[in-house]
Structure 1
């Protein structure tokens, strides 16, 4: 109860809601239109009734004036005795209020009130005496009336006059009879209009949540401000797969232009896997997708109202830097694991040397120690001599130790040669580490699955204006139709592969190319990066 009261007080402070304002405004407009229409219709009915009344009295008057019996009666000795019964029948049959037949001087021969016979006609007769038919509104013995005055001719001579009229009270009665139907129609129209307005207002109130126009405007401004200032990308996709809303963050993350809204997802040049994940009515959470330059975390949620689906809300988060840091952390972990393994191996060898010394076999102890040092130093010297760039040298030494621990051999080919001036500048060393590190990891997995004597051959050198990175393994190679660089491809067939997709992204970001082929021993991955983009 307190919550309801608080909401009511809040709404009262806010003023009328938009729905209520529109309701009142529409009621006023519809009410005004109905009243104005009814008034105009009433005036039109009154005008039409008056016009029809004039036509009626003229027609009756002309009919009487043209009757030969009337002409003969006017010239008879006692016109009233003949004409009064005649006019009474006319009044009874036509509904006319009065028919007055008179001589040219205006003396009445007939009248609805017999006591008025012989008196002077109240009205104008000059135009009728001149042979013209005219109508007028005049107040006579029966009150105001619309009357027609018509001459009675015997050949060309005017021998009498006929005046036929209907009182204004009778006309008003006709208008009132028509007005009742008009009022009923107006009330029905008003009722239907008010009902429709009420239903529309209820629907509008539900859709606007009872908010006023000012508050709706503020919320829209806040919505626009928040939408275009958040760093995360936001897309609204309708049921047909068309973008209905795209904020600035989404345009930046997806490298889109300003003409995104209204276009289909398939027209935006996005990766097919990302487009498929944004399909209508599909829910996805924190999926990793790669574009040409970024690693994005995509979350999709359908928008529903009851059982009706309206589309999909897509949120995008930039995972590029985090993915790079994760790769570097994995490399550091690999180095640490290699150091741990080497420390463990060195401890074992040291115990062996100590044991030989304790046994007094000094020569064999020296021979064993120097042999192990020579093997380790040989690999280190080979890597350092060929690769003077410290980051790549450390990577290769770490991967060599990892390969040795896993029972494989990492072979640095004789043509490998990179000095420390090659890396830096536009292409960061960590991108080269991403490319070479993931290729070696993938090659190690493939070589270990391939069978006996697993080996990985690594070539890295600068030639012909480009940096060449080649990794070959002794595995089974790729099957026909396999697309190794697609997100989700993995030699382990678990559908979670991301390394080679990151390799392709890093190569494209550096303006290079990468290809895969079948060598003499297994799969061969070759990446080429222009040295114009890898200069200090």
Structure 2
């Protein structure tokens, strides 16, 4: 059978109660001892004061030199003894003969205490066992004006009286000790209840095991984990710090607000500090503004999906053009069979010339094949939607521009900006205009459309989390275009801005010097 409490709260309470009990008992014993010491000290001072006062009284000197000292001194000493409460006052001659005594029958008998020091004119206090039992007594000499010792005064308090006095204080000491112990028990009981609530009634070993497992889980989990308590991050595991790009010694208060604020949500996309994050938040039952937040990294996946989406749309455009080319080919064959070859040749060469002119124009302006393919695909896609998409005359991109952005990053930036422009342009007057200028020192990408554009706050929101102006834009997987562009721009230390001039214009600027300075 266990003789000690199982829970941590019970063990703390038992230890605290034991400490309080020891302290209270020790204090009570010390108080009793102190009361006895104080009683003895006070008794010594009192008997000394009585003996000295009587010895120095002129009436005592006169009585000792009279014919019958006892007749004069006995009434006086009894009145003083009754008034002061001491045990005895004895006036004696230099030969030890008693002139006064508490028991009148002992008057005339010799005094039993030490008188040598008093005969030499000294006042002495001592513990001595006399006719009344053990006592504390003081003997003082009685001198004549010329200094001759004509007698002595002895005053004393018995140990029985002293014991009764300090024992009379024991009930008060016991009452104070009981009150202190009762207060301690009440406090310990309150502490135990509070600890039980905070520890869930677990034993120390169970708490240690839980902590070890908890620590192991936090280290091994492959997702970022943030525990929010009362609106403040209480725990951030190492994976969350890695995904958020913060150091191990960074204060949790520096975490992005979207981790600590908000209601329950599942797989909501946010962009923060160069990463696209998938965030889920689960409130803690019964705790206000407390939740558990999990974070997953979707940066590389979203970039790959963006590139795949661009390529998919380009392939769809090619399939659409192939289908259209097949229709035109059937038409040309039919015209030839109808004996109208001139019209067949004119139809074939006109479409070919227009397509070739577009390919030649883009090939001459843009040296990167992947970017050319993207622009051709987006042009075909825009044409299907009835939106004119044009590459401006000042566009010129050399092979050296890949030193600033890789082909994949170019596809991500240009493709998402064009997609955003196609979705945002004015349906009543749709158009999209693309300008790309770049070499080994700089790269500027400008995409304009006929839409209403975004103000500064809306643009910031669109580039810092998954947001879209389309219906359902805040849902997971929607509105990541500008966020993905912002990730590339941040990674390459460029700038991104939006303005409303001749249309809605988004500009991305990157400089080789900025990237080199950042790396150094």
> Which range, TM-score by smaller chain?
0.7 to 0.9
| Distance verdict in 2 for CA 1:368–1:38, change over 3 Å | same
Is 2:155 aligned against 1:164? yes
Contact 2:387 2:431 in 1 (8 A): yes
CA shift at 1:58, angstroms? 2.1
Equivalent-residue separation in structure 2 for 1:482 and 1:108 (angstroms): 112
- Counterpart CA distance in 1 for 2:45 and 2:501 is 112
- For residue 351 of structure 1, report the CA deviation from its aligned partner: 4.6
Judge conservation of contact 2:89–2:155 (CA < 8 Å) in 1: yes
Match of 1:404? 383
Say which SS state the counterpart of residue 411 (structure 2) adopts: helix
Q: CA deviation at 1:361?
A: 5.4
TM-score by length of structure 2 reads: 0.81
Q: 1:52 to 1:417 in 2, by over 3 A?
A: closer
Give the one of 245, 262, 273 matched to 1:255.
245
State which drifts further: 146-155 or 480-489.
480-489
CA distance in 1 between counterparts of 2:46 and 2:455 reads 102
CA distance in 2, matches of 1:81, 1:514: 122
Rounded Cα–Cα distance in structure 2 between residues aligned with 1:512 and 1:56 = 96
Q: CA deviation at 1:53?
A: 1.0
Distance 2:500 2:13 in 1: 76
* Equivalent in the alignment of 1:443: 421
Q: Counterpart of 1:507?
A: 489
Quote how far apart the aligned CAs of 1:485 are: 5.9
1:103 alignment counterpart: 93
Change (3 A) 1:132 1:491: closer
State the partner residue of 2:47. 57
* Alpha-carbon distance in structure 2 between the residues aligned to 1:18 and 1:375: 84
Residue 445 of structure 2 is aligned with which of 452, 464, 469? 469
Equivalent residue runs for 1:110-509 within 5 Å: 110-155=100-145, 156-227=147-218, 230-235=221-226, 245-261=235-251, 275=257, 277-278=258-259, 280=261, 285-300=266-281, 309=289, 314-353=293-332, 355-356=334-335, 364-365=343-344, 368-369=347-348, 371-384=350-363, 386-387=365-366, 389-413=368-392, 416=395, 418=397, 421-422=399-400, 427-447=405-425, 449-451=427-429, 454-463=430-439, 465-473=441-449, 475=450, 478=453, 484=459, 486-487=461-462, 497-509=479-491
CA distance in 1, matches of 2:266, 2:4: 39
Please give the per-residue CA displacement for 1:336-360, whole angstroms capped at 9, x wherever unaligned. Answer: 4324433443443355456556656
Q: Please state whether the residue corresponding to 2:169 is helix, strand or coil.
A: helix
Give, in whole Å, the separation in 2 of the partners of 1:479 and 1:17: 60
Cα distance in structure 1, aligned partners of 2:370 and 2:88? 124
Deviations for 1:426-478, whole angstroms, at most 9, x for unmatched residues? 73322111111122223334556252xx54444445447334434444x2564
**TM-score, normalised with respect to structure 1:** 0.79
Q: For 1:109-131, what per-residue CA distance to the aligned partner results, in whole angstroms no more than 9, with x for missing partners?
A: 33333443333221111112222
- Per-residue CA distance 1:479-498 (angstroms, 9 max, x = gap): 77686464177665876544
Say if 2:38 is the partner of 1:48: yes
Give the 3-state SS of the residue equivalent to 2:32 in structure 1.
helix
> How many residues were matched structurally?
507
Match of 2:10 among 20, 24, 48: 20
Q: State the shift of 1:294 in Å.
A: 1.7
SS in 2 for 1:449: coil
Aligned partners of 1:414 and 1:93: how far apart in 2?
126
Deviations along 1:8-65, one digit per CA (max 9) or x if unpaired, are x9xx799843333322332232222222222222222111111111122222223443
Give the Cα separation in 1 of the matches to 2:61 and 2:455.
121
SS across alignment from 1:411 = strand
Query: Structure 2: which 5+ residue stretches go unaligned?
Result: none
d(CA) in 1 for partners of 2:135, 2:302: 101
Q: 1:491 to 1:242 in 2, by over 3 A?
A: closer
Question: Residue 161 of structure 1: CA displacement?
Answer: 2.6
- Cα 1:417–1:13, aligned 2, differ >3 Å: closer, same or farther? farther
Report if aligned partners of 2:404, 2:440 keep a CA contact under 8 Å in 1. Answer: no
Q: CA RMSD in A?
A: 3.9
Q: Deviations over 1:90-113 (max 9, x none)?
A: 444432222223322112333333
5+ unaligned residues in a row in structure 1: which ranges? 1-8, 266-273
CA shift for structure 1 position 511: 3.6
Contact 1:280 1:302 in 2 (8 A): no
Aligned 8 A contact 1:242 1:264 in 2: no
Query: Residues of 2 paired with 1:76 and 1:38: CA distance?
Result: 54
1:35 aligns with 2:11: no
8 Å Cα contact 1:136-1:147 kept in structure 2: yes
Going from structure 1 to structure 2, the CA distance change for 1:193 and 1:100 (only over 3 Å counts) comes to same
